[in-house]
Amino acid sequence: MRRRVSSAVGVERINWATAMFLVATPIGAVVWGGGRLYEHGLETGPIVFFLVYLVLTGMSITAGYHRLFAHRAYEACAPVRAFYLLLGAAAFQDSALAWSADHRSHHQNIDRDGDPYNVRRGFLWAHMGWLLFTDHLCRRRTLVPDLESDPLVAAQHRAYTPVAIVMCFGVPLSVGWVFGDPWGFLLWGGLIRVVVGHHLTFLVNSLAHTLGRRPYERRFSARDSLITALLTFGEGYHNFHHRFASDYRNGVRRFHWDPTKWLIQALAYVGLASNLRRAPVERIIAARLRADQERLLHRVQACSQEAAVRAQVRVAAVASVVESAVARLGTLEREFGRMRASATGVSREHLRQRRADLRAARREFRETWRHWTRELSRIRDSLDGAVLGT
């Protein structure tokens, strides 16, 4: 699945190599997999390898290709980058350089011409249709100068096809040979795994732009959905991601299902990753407040002017309380982070005091946020009543 990196945008021609690969692999997986299932039933060894290799290659795409190379959301040491590049190649989704060029185009031009997987052209186009054609691609090398100057990324790009074949099919075959079942491992760890991995990644371009809520930005199609997150190693909080693309998290809340975020945190904990970028909490909350207010304004249009003004005044008053609480929380978080990073010259007592202040600020913020959601729901109810009364 190799596509030419070019700046050409024009008549769409079929990309035969990619099209044949994307059509032949699922057919092969069903025919060969069905036959083998009939003959041998479910085979534990190959299926365990399938799951392990699916996770390793899938998360090399999400944590490596996506959050590290395409978005520079954190830094990773050379062995981790090399691991992502090798295992990412096994996912057969092109080189990290080409993948990132497409993805940066997607973020820059979301829902417009220039977005390679523009969901406005249809769910199937965003899912995989775009891969079948060459000339519409908006890859521009000017979008990835940082990656071109990365020797590991550049080497993977140059040697992509042989590396991908070896990692995608050679590794399962070799592991299977060690365990005495090369064809079973090739089927499950190579063919079936690459097909499943493709479609899980493709869901980020299709389902994550179709299903779910838009809590941070209502103007574009990207959506937050737990279902998509469960299927894509945490990439389903896509509305947040498009609004704050350089944040290493997609699921911003601690409990959001985002294994990719947890992997990056674990790598940082053992010193293999650093400079994890996070959007300031004030900006995140400001985006939520604005999106909530825009939704409310939409309802207000159907009300009498008096009801609309009353609602807007109430909303503005509560929003300003939330803004003050989050500003205080943000300041304390940054102060505390700086204090912990410097370590020297800060007494334990002082650190304990600041931690207590931070906990209090978090409590205060949570309380104001609860107040905000309650108030919003009351205002919505009163507006609905006003509309029914008109």
For the bound state, the minimum distance from the C-beta of residue 9 to Zn ion, rounded and expressed in Å, comes to 19
Q: How many amino acids of this chain bind Zn ion (CB under 5 A)?
A: 1
The amino acid present at 127, given as its one-letter code, is H
Residue with Cβ nearer Zn ion (199 or 362): 199
For the bound state, the minimum distance from the C-beta of residue 19 to Zn ion, rounded and expressed in Å, comes to 23
Q: How far is CA 42 from CA 36, 46, 53, in A?
A: 9, 9, 17
Residue with Cβ nearer Zn ion (183 or 220): 220
For the bound state, the minimum distance from the C-beta of residue 222 to Zn ion, rounded and expressed in Å, comes to 5
Residue with Cβ nearer Zn ion (144 or 222): 222
C-beta of residue 276 within 8 angstroms of C-beta of residue 265: yes
For the bound state, the minimum distance from the C-beta of residue 284 to Zn ion, rounded and expressed in Å, comes to 17
CA distance 333 to 69: 28
Token output for 238: 């896509």
| Displacement of CA 92 from its chain's centroid (Å) | 18
Q: Where are the alpha helices (DSSP H) in 6-150?
A: 16-40, 44-59, 78-90, 96-108, 123-127, 145-148
Residue with Cβ nearer Zn ion (222 or 325): 222
> CA 260, 265, 266, 270 torsion: positive or negative?
positive
The CB density around residue 68, as the number of other CB atoms within 10 Å, is: 24
Residue with Cβ nearer Zn ion (203 or 379): 203
Over the window 205 to 244, marking each residue x when it contacts Zn ion by CB under 5 A and - when it does not, the resulting string is: -----------------x----------------------
For the bound state, the minimum distance from the C-beta of residue 299 to Zn ion, rounded and expressed in Å, comes to 28
User: In the bound complex, which residue of the shown chain has the CB atom lying closest to Zn ion?
Assistant: 222
353 class by beta-carbon count within 10 Å (0-12 exposed, 13-18 middle, 19+ buried): exposed
Residue with Cβ nearer Zn ion (3 or 223): 223
CA distance 356 to 336: 11
For the bound state, the minimum distance from the C-beta of residue 99 to Zn ion, rounded and expressed in Å, comes to 11
Residue with Cβ nearer Zn ion (89 or 222): 222
C-beta of residue 168 within 8 angstroms of C-beta of residue 190: yes
For the bound state, the minimum distance from the C-beta of residue 250 to Zn ion, rounded and expressed in Å, comes to 9
User: Which residues of the chain form contacts with Zn ion (CB under 5 A)?
Assistant: 222
